[in-house]
């Protein structure tokens, strides 16, 4: 099946229209007409081969792993979906399914590495996977998610990456009532961290370098907003946090935030700075503290997150764009000029 898509042909070139081939659905596959696709910072990194040492880009690269659509075909053994159902696909489309991590529902930590929605080895085609900047996608139902009907579909799309990336650590460290929780950075990840931590019942403190984001931080659910460039504001919270979620992908001083943790408190990285962040040993030793990281979530956990969002009416704050403006969106993403996530209206792809 040939479908329209937008692809990067090289690290330095723009994304442009390109026809791609999708496989015919097998017995356990779901074919999805893509309605909306979120734009993740990872898309930009991958399209421009900026993670060459970790995950070199295979070209042509069709980004997109925040996919919401409607089922257009199902395989003969599919049980969760029927034609016309809403469906979603996140960062993964497969894993080994047999390692200890996969069998615990932690497919994102598959010991053989998960098959990501784009730029992974595609066992079906022998080439590499192609993502959601396209008309259709075919995915095994085991890696396809059900979308609650009461959520705004466009604003739901970034939940498949930004949402689950922040939800997973909050759930793993059992964030809830009676806890004081910090969120560092108010971007695509951070604004979801604030919403989730507030909905889980924690006292939420947002840290931002931008005084202009104070009002927005409180609108999104923060009880307090601290301008992190002010040492006095930081110092007032020293030794008081149970958990801090670090959503910043730029260089910053994590020791300043480790100092804010109480005994056995945890600072968890979900942002991915390009260069190593120095950590002073005594920032962890006195008193005993934890410095950790978290990836995305497994399929069951992602479904749980979507159901929680439906219950609490939580979605991402988005700017909806036509796919013809994707290169402009990438330029704006670098400047931080979005509140707080771009989402592509895939109906505009038909005009390309």
pLDDT at residue number 55: 87
Domain range summary for the chain, segments of one domain joined by +: 2-161+297-308+315-351, 163-293
- The CA distance from 160 to 178, in Å, is 28
- The CA distance from 128 to 131, in Å, is 10
**Which superfamily is assigned to 2-161+297-308+315-351 in CATH?**
Medium-chain alcohol dehydrogenases, catalytic domain (3.90.180.10)
> What string of H, E and C letters represents the secondary structure of 99-138?
CHHHHCCCHHHCCCCCEECCCCECCCCCCECCCCCECEEE
pLDDT interval class at 178 (50, 70, 90) = very high
Please state at what angle helix 162-172 crosses helix 190-199, rounded to 10 degrees. Answer: 40
Q: What is the pLDDT of residues 16-49, one digit of tens each?
A: 999 999 999 999 999 999 999 999 999 999 999 9
Residue 267 has pLDDT above 80, yes or no: yes
pLDDT at residue number 23: 96
pTM for this prediction: 0.95
User: Largest Cα–Cα distance in the chain?
Assistant: 63
Cα separations in angstroms, 352 against 36, 108, 135, 263, 324: 16, 34, 11, 56, 8
Q: Which of 65, 70, 66 is nearest to 87 (CA)?
A: 70
> Which contacts qualify for 232-238: CB closer than 8 Å, 24 or more apart?
234/207, 234/259, 234/260, 237/182, 237/205
Give me the DSSP letters along 236-283: TTTT-EEEEEE---S---HHHHHTTEEEEEEEEE-S--SS-----HHH
Q: What is the pLDDT of residues 56-101, one digit of tens each?
A: 999 999 999 999 999 999 999 999 999 999 999 999 999 999 999 9
Cα 219 to chain centroid distance, Å, stands at 21
Q: Percentage of residues in the chain with pLDDT exceeding 90?
A: 94
Q: Percentage of residues in the chain with pLDDT exceeding 70?
A: 100
Residue 168 has pLDDT above 80, yes or no: yes
- The CA distance from 130 to 15, in Å, is 13
Cα separations in angstroms, 312 against 146, 169, 192: 17, 19, 13
Specify the 3-state DSSP secondary structure of 1. coil
Residues sharing a CB contact under 8 Å with residue 236, sequence separation 6 or more, in sequence order: none
Residue 52 has pLDDT above 90, yes or no: no
Radius of gyration of the chain (CA): 20
pLDDT at residue number 250: 87
pLDDT at residue number 280: 96
**Domain covering 163-293 assigned CATH 3.40.50.720 in the classification:** yes
Q: What is the pLDDT of residues 271-289, one digit of tens each?
A: 988 788 999 999 999 999 9
Residue with tokens 């910043």: 248
Task: Please give the structure tokens belonging to residue 135.
Answer: 């008309």
Task: Please give the structure tokens belonging to residue 326.
Answer: 């994707």
pLDDT at residue number 34: 98
Q: Which of 321, 252, 328 is nearest to 44 (CA)?
A: 328
pLDDT interval class at 352 (50, 70, 90) = confident
């Amino acid at each position: 099946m040939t479908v329209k898509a937008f692809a990067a042909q090289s690290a330095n070139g723009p994304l442009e229209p390109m026809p791609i081939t999708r496989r015919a659905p097998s017995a356990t596959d779901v074919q999805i007409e893509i309605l909306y696709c979120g734009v993740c910072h990872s898309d930009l990194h991958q399209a421009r081969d900026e993670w060459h040492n970790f995950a070199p880009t295979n070209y042509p690269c069709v980004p997109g792993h925040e996919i919401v659509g409607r089922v257009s075909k199902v395989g003969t053994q599919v049980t969760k979906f029927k034609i016309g159902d809403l469906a979603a696909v996140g960062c993964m489309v497969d894993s080994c399914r047999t390692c200890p991590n996969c069998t615990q529902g932690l497919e994102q930590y598959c010991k053989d590495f998960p098959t990501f929605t784009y730029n992974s080895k595609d066992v079906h085609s022998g080439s590499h996977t192609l993502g959601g900047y396209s008309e259709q996608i075919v995915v095994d139902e085991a890696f396809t998610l059900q979308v609650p009907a009461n959520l705004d579909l466009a604003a739901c799309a970034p939940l498949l990456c930004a949402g689950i990336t922040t939800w997973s650590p909050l759930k793993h460290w059992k964030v809830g009532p009676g806890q004081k929780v910090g969120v560092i950075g108010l971007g695509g990840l951070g604004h979801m961290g604030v919403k989730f931590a507030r909905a889980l019942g924690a006292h939420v403190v947002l840290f931002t370098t931008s005084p202009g984001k104070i009002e927005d931080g409180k609108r999104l659910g923060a009880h307090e907003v601290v301008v992190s460039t002010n040492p006095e504001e930081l110092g007032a919270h020293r030794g008081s946090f149970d958990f801090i979620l670090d959503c910043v992908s730029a260089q910053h001083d994590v020791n300043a935030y480790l100092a804010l943790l109480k005994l056995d408190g945890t600072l968890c990285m979900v942002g991915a700075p390009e260069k190593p962040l120095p950590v002073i040993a005594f920032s962890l030793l006195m008193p005993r503290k934890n410095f950790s990281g978290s990836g995305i979530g497994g399929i069951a956990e992602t479904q749980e997150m979507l159901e929680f969002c439906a219950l609490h009416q939580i979605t991402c704050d988005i700017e909806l764009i036509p796919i013809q403006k994707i290169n402009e969106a990438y330029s704006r993403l670098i400047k931080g000029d979005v509140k707080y996530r771009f989402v592509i209206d895939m109906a505009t792809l038909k005009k390309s």
